[in-house]
Amino acid sequence: QKDKLLTVSNKANTYVVDMMKNYIEHHEPVTVYKFLFASLELVCNSYYPVIEKMDETKDRINQLLHKTTTKK
């Protein structure tokens, strides 16, 4: 099936399917490969703020640990 893309989702990630549907509705017809990479970009962009927050938290924890260990 040349022009098909199979996705698997659950209640926790239905927002991804919604983003994919929105992409299809608002863009010219695209190839399956272009749609796949556009979908991957949408997912990555949605997780970027979460990863940034985790990185900031990691840095704060490292600073606290450094302060604690150098005071001894």
DSSP conformation letters of the chain: -TT-------GGGHHHHHHHHHHHHHS----HHHHHHHHHHHHHHHHHHHHHHHHHHHHHHHHHHHHHHHH-
Give residue 22's domain range: 11-71
In a domain, 46, yes or no: yes
In a domain, 2, yes or no: no
Q: Amino acid identity of 33?
A: Y
Write out pLDDT tens, residues 8-59.
889 988 888 999 999 999 998 888 889 999 999 999 998 888 899 999 999 9
In a domain, 6, yes or no: no
Residue 5 vs residue 36, higher pLDDT: 36
Q: Is the pLDDT of residue 6 over 90?
A: no
In a domain, 3, yes or no: no
Position 12 scores a pLDDT of 87
In a domain, 36, yes or no: yes
Is there a contact between 46 and 19 (Cβ–Cβ < 8 Å)?
Answer: yes
**Predicted TM-score (pTM) of this structure:** 0.62
Total domains present in the chain? 1
Position 24 scores a pLDDT of 92
